[in-house]
A = this chain, B = another copy of it.
Amino acid sequence: MQPSLNKGTLQRMDSEERFQEQPFGCLQQKQPHCCHPLEETSSRVGLHATLPWTMRSCEDGSAHLGSCGEAAAFRSREEALSTRSYPSPVSLRGADLLLDQLYGLLQCLFNIGALQRLATPCLEALEANTRNCESRQEKYFTPLMLVRAFKRLDAVYRLSSRSFAPPSRNECRNLLNLAQIFASRQRLRLLTLDGDETLYPNGENFCHEEMGRNIAQLLRKGVAVAVVTGAGYGYEAEKYAVRLGILLTIFAQERLPPKATRRFFLMGGESNYLLRLSSSLKLEPVPEELWRGYRPPIEAADCERLLDVSERSLVLLSKDLGLEGNVIRKQRAVGLVPRDDATNKVRFGCVDNKGMHKESLEEGVMRVRRDIRAAFGGDCPVPYSVFTGGCDIWVDAGNKAEGVALLQGLLKLKPEHCLHVGDQFDLVGNDLAARICSPTLWIRNPKETAAVIWELLQADSENEEESSP
Protein backbone atom coordinates (compact mmCIF):
# COMPACT_ATOMS: atom_id res chain seq x y z
CA MET A 1 0.00 0.00 0.00
CA GLN A 2 1.59 3.22 -1.11
CA PRO A 3 1.12 6.45 0.78
CA SER A 4 -1.42 8.67 -0.88
CA LEU A 5 0.58 11.75 -1.75
CA ASN A 6 -2.40 13.43 -3.15
CA LYS A 7 -4.29 14.49 -0.07
CA GLY A 8 -7.67 15.29 -1.46
CA THR A 9 -8.36 12.28 -3.63
CA LEU A 10 -11.45 10.43 -2.69
CA GLN A 11 -13.90 11.22 -0.08
CA ARG A 12 -14.00 7.63 1.00
CA MET A 13 -10.27 7.63 1.43
CA ASP A 14 -10.90 9.50 4.62
CA SER A 15 -10.52 7.95 7.97
CA GLU A 16 -9.48 4.40 7.45
CA GLU A 17 -7.06 5.12 4.67
CA ARG A 18 -5.37 7.85 6.63
CA PHE A 19 -5.03 5.46 9.49
CA GLN A 20 -3.30 2.92 7.34
CA GLU A 21 -0.80 5.38 6.05
CA GLN A 22 0.43 6.20 9.47
CA PRO A 23 2.68 3.98 11.50
CA PHE A 24 0.87 2.78 14.57
CA GLY A 25 3.37 4.27 16.93
CA CYS A 26 2.63 7.88 16.30
CA LEU A 27 -1.02 7.25 16.45
CA GLN A 28 -0.62 6.21 20.02
CA GLN A 29 1.24 9.34 20.91
CA LYS A 30 -1.13 11.59 19.15
CA GLN A 31 -4.16 9.84 20.46
CA PRO A 32 -4.39 9.67 24.19
CA HIS A 33 -7.75 8.41 25.19
CA CYS A 34 -9.11 11.88 25.59
CA CYS A 35 -8.80 12.38 21.86
CA HIS A 36 -11.07 9.67 20.69
CA PRO A 37 -12.35 10.66 17.29
CA LEU A 38 -15.84 10.43 18.60
CA GLU A 39 -15.22 13.48 20.68
CA GLU A 40 -15.97 15.92 17.96
CA THR A 41 -19.26 14.29 17.29
CA SER A 42 -20.08 13.89 20.92
CA SER A 43 -22.39 16.82 21.07
CA ARG A 44 -24.36 15.40 18.23
CA VAL A 45 -24.61 11.88 19.49
CA GLY A 46 -24.44 12.56 23.18
CA LEU A 47 -21.26 10.60 23.68
CA HIS A 48 -18.11 11.67 25.43
CA ALA A 49 -14.68 10.80 24.23
CA THR A 50 -13.97 7.81 26.41
CA LEU A 51 -17.10 6.17 25.49
CA PRO A 52 -17.34 2.98 27.50
CA TRP A 53 -16.69 4.81 30.73
CA THR A 54 -19.11 7.49 29.83
CA MET A 55 -21.56 4.76 29.32
CA ARG A 56 -21.06 3.48 32.80
CA SER A 57 -21.58 6.81 34.38
CA CYS A 58 -24.47 8.26 32.49
CA GLU A 59 -26.59 8.35 35.59
CA ASP A 60 -29.40 10.27 34.16
CA GLY A 61 -30.18 8.34 31.09
CA SER A 62 -32.11 5.49 32.53
CA ALA A 63 -33.68 4.23 29.39
CA HIS A 64 -31.64 5.98 26.70
CA LEU A 65 -29.89 3.20 24.99
CA GLY A 66 -28.98 5.63 22.29
CA SER A 67 -26.78 7.56 24.61
CA CYS A 68 -25.76 5.26 27.38
CA GLY A 69 -25.59 1.56 27.24
CA GLU A 70 -25.84 -1.82 28.69
CA ALA A 71 -25.38 -0.71 32.26
CA ALA A 72 -28.03 1.92 31.90
CA ALA A 73 -30.34 -0.38 30.04
CA PHE A 74 -30.00 -2.87 32.80
CA ARG A 75 -30.58 -0.34 35.49
CA SER A 76 -33.69 0.90 33.80
CA ARG A 77 -34.67 -2.68 33.26
CA GLU A 78 -34.04 -3.48 36.87
CA GLU A 79 -36.38 -0.77 37.89
CA ALA A 80 -39.03 -2.43 35.85
CA LEU A 81 -38.08 -5.76 37.33
CA SER A 82 -38.18 -4.60 40.87
CA THR A 83 -41.84 -4.05 40.25
CA ARG A 84 -41.87 -7.59 38.90
CA SER A 85 -43.52 -6.54 35.73
CA TYR A 86 -40.75 -7.60 33.29
CA PRO A 87 -42.38 -6.31 30.17
CA SER A 88 -41.27 -8.02 27.02
CA PRO A 89 -40.12 -6.56 24.71
CA VAL A 90 -38.19 -3.98 26.65
CA SER A 91 -39.19 -0.45 25.94
CA LEU A 92 -35.94 1.21 25.03
CA ARG A 93 -35.56 4.41 23.15
CA GLY A 94 -34.12 4.71 19.70
CA ALA A 95 -34.37 1.62 17.57
CA ASP A 96 -36.77 -0.25 19.85
CA LEU A 97 -39.08 2.68 20.21
CA LEU A 98 -39.02 3.17 16.47
CA LEU A 99 -39.87 -0.49 15.94
CA ASP A 100 -42.85 -0.10 18.24
CA GLN A 101 -44.00 3.06 16.51
CA LEU A 102 -43.57 1.53 13.07
CA TYR A 103 -45.46 -1.59 14.07
CA GLY A 104 -48.26 0.39 15.69
CA LEU A 105 -48.54 2.67 12.70
CA LEU A 106 -48.67 -0.04 10.05
CA GLN A 107 -51.14 -2.12 12.06
CA CYS A 108 -53.35 0.90 12.46
CA LEU A 109 -53.32 1.72 8.76
CA PHE A 110 -53.95 -1.92 7.92
CA ASN A 111 -56.91 -2.00 10.26
CA ILE A 112 -58.61 0.89 8.55
CA GLY A 113 -57.78 -0.55 5.14
CA ALA A 114 -55.63 2.37 4.12
CA LEU A 115 -52.14 0.93 4.04
CA GLN A 116 -51.79 1.38 0.31
CA ARG A 117 -52.91 4.96 0.29
CA LEU A 118 -51.33 6.22 3.47
CA ALA A 119 -48.15 4.25 4.10
CA THR A 120 -46.00 6.75 2.22
CA PRO A 121 -47.11 10.00 3.88
CA CYS A 122 -47.11 8.36 7.31
CA LEU A 123 -43.65 6.88 6.88
CA GLU A 124 -42.42 10.25 5.66
CA ALA A 125 -43.44 11.65 9.02
CA LEU A 126 -41.58 8.92 10.88
CA GLU A 127 -38.57 9.35 8.62
CA ALA A 128 -38.54 13.07 9.39
CA ASN A 129 -38.36 12.18 13.08
CA THR A 130 -35.17 10.25 12.49
CA ARG A 131 -33.68 13.14 10.56
CA ASN A 132 -33.84 15.95 13.07
CA CYS A 133 -32.30 14.01 15.89
CA GLU A 134 -31.46 17.17 17.80
CA SER A 135 -35.03 18.03 18.47
CA ARG A 136 -35.90 14.80 20.21
CA GLN A 137 -34.34 12.58 22.75
CA GLU A 138 -34.10 9.55 20.54
CA LYS A 139 -30.73 9.44 18.90
CA TYR A 140 -30.19 8.08 15.46
CA PHE A 141 -26.71 8.18 14.00
CA THR A 142 -28.17 8.47 10.53
CA PRO A 143 -31.63 9.25 9.21
CA LEU A 144 -33.55 6.11 8.26
CA MET A 145 -34.89 5.84 4.73
CA LEU A 146 -38.20 4.31 5.69
CA VAL A 147 -40.26 5.32 2.68
CA ARG A 148 -37.86 3.83 0.19
CA ALA A 149 -37.48 0.69 2.31
CA PHE A 150 -41.23 0.27 2.48
CA LYS A 151 -41.61 0.51 -1.28
CA ARG A 152 -38.94 -2.08 -1.80
CA LEU A 153 -40.26 -4.53 0.80
CA ASP A 154 -43.86 -4.03 -0.19
CA ALA A 155 -42.93 -5.50 -3.54
CA VAL A 156 -41.82 -8.63 -1.67
CA TYR A 157 -44.35 -8.75 1.15
CA ARG A 158 -47.33 -7.26 -0.70
CA LEU A 159 -48.29 -5.57 2.53
CA SER A 160 -50.50 -3.08 0.82
CA SER A 161 -52.53 -5.68 -1.04
CA ARG A 162 -53.02 -8.01 1.89
CA SER A 163 -56.35 -7.91 3.62
CA PHE A 164 -56.18 -10.68 6.20
CA ALA A 165 -52.62 -10.87 7.50
CA PRO A 166 -51.59 -7.56 9.05
CA PRO A 167 -48.00 -6.30 9.03
CA SER A 168 -46.01 -8.34 11.53
CA ARG A 169 -43.37 -7.20 13.96
CA ASN A 170 -40.88 -9.26 12.04
CA GLU A 171 -41.66 -7.48 8.81
CA CYS A 172 -41.18 -4.18 10.63
CA ARG A 173 -37.78 -5.35 11.86
CA ASN A 174 -36.74 -6.04 8.29
CA LEU A 175 -38.14 -2.70 7.22
CA LEU A 176 -36.01 -0.89 9.78
CA ASN A 177 -32.97 -2.89 8.73
CA LEU A 178 -33.42 -2.02 5.09
CA ALA A 179 -34.02 1.64 5.90
CA GLN A 180 -30.73 1.64 7.80
CA ILE A 181 -28.92 -0.14 4.96
CA PHE A 182 -30.15 2.43 2.45
CA ALA A 183 -28.87 5.15 4.76
CA SER A 184 -25.53 3.51 5.54
CA ARG A 185 -24.25 1.79 2.47
CA GLN A 186 -23.06 4.91 0.68
CA ARG A 187 -21.03 6.11 3.63
CA LEU A 188 -19.99 2.78 5.06
CA ARG A 189 -16.36 2.53 6.27
CA LEU A 190 -16.63 -0.13 8.97
CA LEU A 191 -18.91 -3.13 9.12
CA THR A 192 -18.81 -5.01 12.44
CA LEU A 193 -20.33 -8.44 12.58
CA ASP A 194 -21.27 -10.68 15.47
CA GLY A 195 -20.05 -14.27 15.17
CA ASP A 196 -22.41 -16.99 16.34
CA GLU A 197 -25.79 -17.03 14.58
CA THR A 198 -24.75 -13.95 12.60
CA LEU A 199 -21.76 -15.02 10.51
CA TYR A 200 -22.12 -18.74 11.18
CA PRO A 201 -24.75 -20.97 12.80
CA ASN A 202 -24.51 -21.12 16.58
CA GLY A 203 -21.43 -23.14 17.57
CA GLU A 204 -20.55 -23.99 13.97
CA ASN A 205 -18.03 -22.55 11.52
CA PHE A 206 -18.47 -20.16 8.63
CA CYS A 207 -19.71 -22.03 5.55
CA HIS A 208 -21.71 -19.59 3.39
CA GLU A 209 -19.74 -19.27 0.19
CA GLU A 210 -21.71 -16.48 -1.45
CA MET A 211 -21.60 -14.36 1.69
CA GLY A 212 -17.84 -14.98 1.83
CA ARG A 213 -17.35 -13.64 -1.68
CA ASN A 214 -19.44 -10.60 -0.90
CA ILE A 215 -17.45 -9.85 2.23
CA ALA A 216 -14.33 -9.99 0.09
CA GLN A 217 -16.00 -7.56 -2.26
CA LEU A 218 -16.67 -5.14 0.60
CA LEU A 219 -13.04 -5.30 1.68
CA ARG A 220 -11.93 -4.67 -1.84
CA LYS A 221 -14.21 -1.63 -2.03
CA GLY A 222 -12.50 -0.10 0.99
CA VAL A 223 -14.85 -1.08 3.79
CA ALA A 224 -13.20 -2.41 6.95
CA VAL A 225 -14.90 -5.57 8.20
CA ALA A 226 -14.52 -6.71 11.79
CA VAL A 227 -15.91 -9.72 13.56
CA VAL A 228 -16.79 -8.54 17.06
CA THR A 229 -17.56 -11.62 19.06
CA GLY A 230 -18.00 -12.63 22.64
CA ALA A 231 -15.93 -15.73 21.98
CA GLY A 232 -12.57 -15.19 23.61
CA TYR A 233 -9.58 -17.41 22.83
CA GLY A 234 -6.95 -14.88 23.90
CA TYR A 235 -4.57 -14.35 21.02
CA GLU A 236 -4.75 -17.95 19.84
CA ALA A 237 -5.36 -16.93 16.24
CA GLU A 238 -5.78 -20.49 15.07
CA LYS A 239 -8.90 -21.00 17.15
CA TYR A 240 -10.55 -17.93 15.69
CA ALA A 241 -9.50 -19.05 12.23
CA VAL A 242 -11.32 -22.35 12.72
CA ARG A 243 -14.57 -20.48 13.33
CA LEU A 244 -14.03 -18.41 10.19
CA GLY A 245 -14.11 -21.68 8.24
CA ILE A 246 -13.99 -21.22 4.49
CA LEU A 247 -13.90 -17.44 4.71
CA LEU A 248 -10.13 -17.09 4.60
CA THR A 249 -9.95 -19.65 1.78
CA ILE A 250 -12.41 -17.54 -0.18
CA PHE A 251 -10.28 -14.45 0.42
CA ALA A 252 -7.36 -16.38 -1.02
CA GLN A 253 -9.38 -17.51 -4.03
CA GLU A 254 -10.57 -13.99 -4.59
CA ARG A 255 -6.94 -12.82 -4.64
CA LEU A 256 -7.64 -9.90 -2.34
CA PRO A 257 -4.92 -7.26 -2.48
CA PRO A 258 -2.97 -6.84 0.80
CA LYS A 259 -4.62 -3.49 1.42
CA ALA A 260 -7.95 -5.22 1.38
CA THR A 261 -6.99 -8.17 3.57
CA ARG A 262 -5.60 -5.79 6.15
CA ARG A 263 -9.04 -4.24 6.42
CA PHE A 264 -10.28 -7.43 8.06
CA PHE A 265 -10.23 -7.47 11.87
CA LEU A 266 -11.38 -9.75 14.64
CA MET A 267 -12.18 -8.48 18.12
CA GLY A 268 -12.42 -11.44 20.53
CA GLY A 269 -13.83 -11.48 24.05
CA GLU A 270 -16.13 -8.56 23.21
CA SER A 271 -13.39 -5.94 23.44
CA ASN A 272 -10.33 -7.73 24.76
CA TYR A 273 -8.31 -9.23 21.92
CA LEU A 274 -7.85 -7.45 18.62
CA LEU A 275 -6.44 -9.34 15.64
CA ARG A 276 -5.92 -8.24 12.08
CA LEU A 277 -5.61 -10.21 8.90
CA SER A 278 -2.14 -9.96 7.41
CA SER A 279 -1.49 -9.78 3.71
CA SER A 280 -0.57 -13.46 3.95
CA LEU A 281 -4.04 -14.11 5.34
CA LYS A 282 -2.98 -14.81 8.91
CA LEU A 283 -4.79 -13.33 11.90
CA GLU A 284 -2.20 -11.42 13.87
CA PRO A 285 -2.60 -9.59 17.16
CA VAL A 286 -2.71 -5.83 16.91
CA PRO A 287 -0.27 -4.53 19.54
CA GLU A 288 -2.35 -3.45 22.51
CA GLU A 289 -0.54 -0.15 22.84
CA LEU A 290 -2.08 0.83 19.52
CA TRP A 291 -5.71 0.55 20.55
CA ARG A 292 -5.94 0.04 24.30
CA GLY A 293 -5.08 3.67 24.69
CA TYR A 294 -8.60 4.52 23.63
CA ARG A 295 -9.77 3.51 27.04
CA PRO A 296 -8.39 4.11 30.51
CA PRO A 297 -6.48 1.24 32.09
CA ILE A 298 -8.35 -1.42 33.96
CA GLU A 299 -6.81 -2.74 37.13
CA ALA A 300 -6.23 -6.48 36.93
CA ALA A 301 -7.48 -6.80 40.49
CA ASP A 302 -10.79 -5.17 39.60
CA CYS A 303 -11.17 -7.55 36.72
CA GLU A 304 -10.45 -10.53 38.95
CA ARG A 305 -12.94 -9.30 41.48
CA LEU A 306 -15.61 -8.93 38.81
CA LEU A 307 -15.02 -12.47 37.65
CA ASP A 308 -14.93 -13.77 41.23
CA VAL A 309 -18.27 -12.19 41.99
CA SER A 310 -19.70 -13.51 38.75
CA GLU A 311 -18.35 -17.00 39.27
CA ARG A 312 -19.89 -17.23 42.71
CA SER A 313 -23.15 -15.98 41.26
CA LEU A 314 -23.07 -18.53 38.44
CA VAL A 315 -22.31 -21.44 40.76
CA LEU A 316 -25.17 -20.45 43.00
CA LEU A 317 -27.73 -19.96 40.29
CA SER A 318 -26.72 -23.11 38.48
CA LYS A 319 -27.85 -24.99 41.57
CA ASP A 320 -30.80 -22.85 42.39
CA LEU A 321 -32.24 -22.87 38.87
CA GLY A 322 -31.34 -26.44 38.00
CA LEU A 323 -29.08 -25.32 35.16
CA GLU A 324 -26.85 -28.36 35.15
CA GLY A 325 -23.68 -27.14 33.48
CA ASN A 326 -20.03 -26.48 34.08
CA VAL A 327 -18.60 -23.15 35.18
CA ILE A 328 -15.61 -22.21 33.04
CA ARG A 329 -13.17 -19.48 34.05
CA LYS A 330 -11.14 -17.75 31.40
CA GLN A 331 -8.72 -14.84 31.59
CA ARG A 332 -11.38 -12.20 31.03
CA ALA A 333 -14.58 -14.13 31.18
CA VAL A 334 -16.48 -16.68 33.19
CA GLY A 335 -19.32 -18.77 31.85
CA LEU A 336 -21.83 -21.46 32.66
CA VAL A 337 -21.91 -23.93 29.77
CA PRO A 338 -23.87 -27.14 29.19
CA ARG A 339 -22.24 -30.47 29.94
CA ASP A 340 -21.08 -32.58 27.05
CA ASP A 341 -23.69 -35.25 27.65
CA ALA A 342 -26.46 -32.69 27.98
CA THR A 343 -28.35 -33.58 24.85
CA ASN A 344 -28.62 -37.28 25.57
CA LYS A 345 -31.18 -36.98 28.30
CA VAL A 346 -34.90 -36.98 27.50
CA ARG A 347 -36.54 -34.55 29.88
CA PHE A 348 -40.10 -33.46 29.29
CA GLY A 349 -40.39 -29.72 28.86
CA CYS A 350 -36.74 -29.03 28.19
CA VAL A 351 -35.50 -30.67 25.02
CA ASP A 352 -33.85 -27.73 23.30
CA ASN A 353 -30.80 -25.57 24.13
CA LYS A 354 -28.82 -28.62 25.25
CA GLY A 355 -30.99 -28.97 28.30
CA MET A 356 -30.50 -25.38 29.44
CA HIS A 357 -34.01 -24.02 29.87
CA LYS A 358 -34.38 -20.68 28.09
CA GLU A 359 -36.35 -18.85 30.76
CA SER A 360 -33.97 -20.07 33.45
CA LEU A 361 -31.03 -18.70 31.47
CA GLU A 362 -32.78 -15.34 31.32
CA GLU A 363 -33.40 -15.44 35.05
CA GLY A 364 -29.73 -16.33 35.49
CA VAL A 365 -28.49 -13.38 33.45
CA MET A 366 -30.59 -11.00 35.50
CA ARG A 367 -29.35 -12.51 38.76
CA VAL A 368 -25.69 -12.16 37.83
CA ARG A 369 -26.28 -8.54 36.87
CA ARG A 370 -27.98 -7.94 40.20
CA ASP A 371 -25.09 -9.53 42.06
CA ILE A 372 -22.51 -7.46 40.17
CA ARG A 373 -24.41 -4.30 40.95
CA ALA A 374 -24.72 -5.32 44.55
CA ALA A 375 -20.94 -5.80 44.73
CA PHE A 376 -19.81 -2.75 42.78
CA GLY A 377 -22.72 -0.35 42.95
CA GLY A 378 -23.77 1.43 39.82
CA ASP A 379 -20.21 2.24 38.86
CA CYS A 380 -18.24 -0.94 38.22
CA PRO A 381 -14.63 -0.02 37.35
CA VAL A 382 -14.56 -2.70 34.65
CA PRO A 383 -16.85 -2.54 31.63
CA TYR A 384 -18.69 -5.82 31.41
CA SER A 385 -21.39 -7.74 29.65
CA VAL A 386 -23.66 -10.48 30.99
CA PHE A 387 -25.66 -12.36 28.40
CA THR A 388 -26.90 -15.71 27.21
CA GLY A 389 -25.85 -17.12 23.88
CA GLY A 390 -28.80 -19.50 23.81
CA CYS A 391 -27.59 -22.41 25.92
CA ASP A 392 -25.11 -20.73 28.24
CA ILE A 393 -24.49 -17.64 30.36
CA TRP A 394 -21.34 -15.59 29.99
CA VAL A 395 -19.87 -12.71 31.94
CA ASP A 396 -17.25 -10.90 29.90
CA ALA A 397 -14.92 -8.21 31.25
CA GLY A 398 -15.65 -6.06 28.23
CA ASN A 399 -18.59 -5.43 25.97
CA LYS A 400 -19.47 -4.69 22.38
CA ALA A 401 -19.97 -0.96 22.98
CA GLU A 402 -16.31 -0.89 23.95
CA GLY A 403 -15.35 -3.36 21.21
CA VAL A 404 -16.88 -1.28 18.45
CA ALA A 405 -15.68 2.02 19.94
CA LEU A 406 -12.08 0.80 20.11
CA LEU A 407 -12.22 -0.06 16.43
CA GLN A 408 -13.72 3.34 15.70
CA GLY A 409 -10.83 4.88 17.63
CA LEU A 410 -8.23 2.84 15.83
CA LEU A 411 -9.74 3.60 12.43
CA LYS A 412 -10.75 7.15 13.27
CA LEU A 413 -14.33 6.73 12.24
CA LYS A 414 -17.49 8.39 13.35
CA PRO A 415 -20.55 6.29 14.18
CA GLU A 416 -22.39 7.34 11.04
CA HIS A 417 -19.79 5.53 8.92
CA CYS A 418 -20.17 2.30 10.87
CA LEU A 419 -22.72 -0.48 11.00
CA HIS A 420 -23.00 -3.36 13.44
CA VAL A 421 -24.87 -6.53 12.51
CA GLY A 422 -25.93 -9.00 15.19
CA ASP A 423 -28.69 -11.28 16.41
CA GLN A 424 -28.65 -10.51 20.13
CA PHE A 425 -30.50 -7.26 20.67
CA ASP A 426 -32.91 -8.33 23.33
CA LEU A 427 -32.40 -7.64 27.00
CA VAL A 428 -30.24 -10.66 27.63
CA GLY A 429 -28.11 -10.33 24.49
CA ASN A 430 -24.66 -8.83 24.00
CA ASP A 431 -25.19 -7.00 20.70
CA LEU A 432 -27.51 -4.51 22.38
CA ALA A 433 -24.52 -2.61 23.81
CA ALA A 434 -23.23 -1.88 20.32
CA ARG A 435 -26.16 0.49 19.80
CA ILE A 436 -24.42 3.01 21.99
CA CYS A 437 -21.86 3.86 19.40
CA SER A 438 -23.07 2.53 16.07
CA PRO A 439 -26.10 2.11 13.85
CA THR A 440 -27.16 -1.52 14.04
CA LEU A 441 -29.03 -4.19 12.11
CA TRP A 442 -30.94 -6.85 14.01
CA ILE A 443 -30.80 -10.07 12.02
CA ARG A 444 -32.00 -13.54 12.97
CA ASN A 445 -29.67 -15.97 11.24
CA PRO A 446 -26.66 -16.12 8.91
CA LYS A 447 -28.92 -16.25 5.86
CA GLU A 448 -30.21 -12.82 6.78
CA THR A 449 -26.65 -11.60 7.24
CA ALA A 450 -25.85 -12.85 3.75
CA ALA A 451 -28.79 -10.88 2.37
CA VAL A 452 -27.68 -7.80 4.30
CA ILE A 453 -24.16 -7.97 2.87
CA TRP A 454 -25.45 -8.53 -0.64
CA GLU A 455 -27.68 -5.52 -0.20
CA LEU A 456 -24.82 -3.35 1.08
CA LEU A 457 -22.98 -3.98 -2.18
CA GLN A 458 -25.90 -2.86 -4.34
CA ALA A 459 -25.48 0.73 -3.31
CA ASP A 460 -24.64 2.53 -6.47
CA SER A 461 -26.60 0.96 -9.24
CA GLU A 462 -29.85 0.58 -7.40
CA ASN A 463 -29.75 4.06 -6.07
CA GLU A 464 -29.94 5.53 -9.52
CA GLU A 465 -32.82 3.50 -10.78
CA GLU A 466 -34.80 4.13 -7.64
CA SER A 467 -34.27 7.84 -7.59
CA SER A 468 -35.28 8.25 -11.21
CA PRO A 469 -39.05 7.94 -10.79
Residues of chain A touching chain B, judged by Cβ–Cβ distance below 8 Å, are 59-60, 62-63, 79, 81-86, 91, 93, 97, 101, 104-105, 108-114, 117-118, 121-122, 125-126, 129, 136-138, 152-153, 155-158, 161-168, 170-171, 174, 178, 181, 210, 320-322, 346-352, 357-360, 362-363, 366-367, 370, 445, 447-448, 450-452, 454-455
Q: Jot down 21 A-B pairs with beta carbons below 8 A, ordered by A.
A: A59-B60, A62-B62, A81-B164, A83-B97, A109-B122, A112-B122, A117-B121, A118-B125, A156-B347, A156-B357, A157-B349, A157-B350, A157-B359, A161-B321, A162-B321, A162-B363, A164-B370, A174-B348, A174-B349, A348-B452, A352-B447
Shortest distance from the beta carbon of A82 to any chain B beta carbon, whole Å: 5
Residues of B near A165 (CB, < 8 A) are 86, 359-360, 362-363, 366
Residues of B near A447 (CB, < 8 A) are 351-352
Residues of B near A164 (CB, < 8 A) are 81, 86, 362-363, 366-367, 370
Q: Are A122 and B118 in contact (CB under 8 A)?
A: yes
Q: Are A112 and B105 in contact (CB under 8 A)?
A: yes
CB-contact partner of A451 in B63, B137, B347, under 8 A: B347
Q: Are B174 and A82 in contact (CB under 8 A)?
A: no
Residues of B near A138 (CB, < 8 A) are 83
Residues of B near A81 (CB, < 8 A) are 163-164
Shortest distance from the beta carbon of A42 to any chain B beta carbon, whole Å: 20
Cα of A163 to Cα of B357 in the assembled complex, Å: 15
Using known A-B contacts A157-B357, A359-B165, A448-B351, determine if residue A101 contacts B112 with beta carbons closer than 8 Å: yes
Residues of B near A126 (CB, < 8 A) are 112, 114
Residues of B near A93 (CB, < 8 A) are 83
Q: Are A348 and B451 in contact (CB under 8 A)?
A: yes
CB-contact partner of A105 in B108, B166, B347, under 8 A: B108
Q: Are B158 and A360 in contact (CB under 8 A)?
A: yes
* Closest B residue, CB atoms, query A320: B161
* Closest B residue, CB atoms, query A378: B60
Chain A facing B: main interface SS: helix
Q: Are A108 and B108 in contact (CB under 8 A)?
A: yes
Cα of A320 to Cα of B109 in the assembled complex, Å: 20
Cα of A153 to Cα of B164 in the assembled complex, Å: 33
Q: Are A346 and B454 in contact (CB under 8 A)?
A: yes
Shortest distance from the beta carbon of A195 to any chain B beta carbon, whole Å: 19
Cα of A357 to Cα of B126 in the assembled complex, Å: 26
Cα of A388 to Cα of B347 in the assembled complex, Å: 30
* Closest B residue, CB atoms, query A168: B359
Residues of B near A86 (CB, < 8 A) are 164-166
Cα of A121 to Cα of B113 in the assembled complex, Å: 13
Q: Are B113 and A84 in contact (CB under 8 A)?
A: yes
Q: Are B83 and A112 in contact (CB under 8 A)?
A: no
Cα of A124 to Cα of B86 in the assembled complex, Å: 23
Using known A-B contacts A161-B320, A321-B162, A322-B158, determine if residue A153 contacts B105 with beta carbons closer than 8 Å: no
Q: Are B122 and A114 in contact (CB under 8 A)?
A: yes
For the complex with contacts A168-B358, A348-B454, 18 further pairs of A-B residues with Cβ separation under 8 Å are: A83-B138, A84-B113, A85-B91, A86-B166, A104-B108, A108-B108, A112-B126, A156-B348, A156-B350, A158-B322, A162-B360, A164-B363, A164-B367, A164-B370, A167-B359, A174-B349, A346-B451, A348-B451
Residues of B near A79 (CB, < 8 A) are 62-63
Q: Are A125 and B153 in contact (CB under 8 A)?
A: no
Residues of B near A350 (CB, < 8 A) are 156-157
Q: Are A129 and B113 in contact (CB under 8 A)?
A: yes
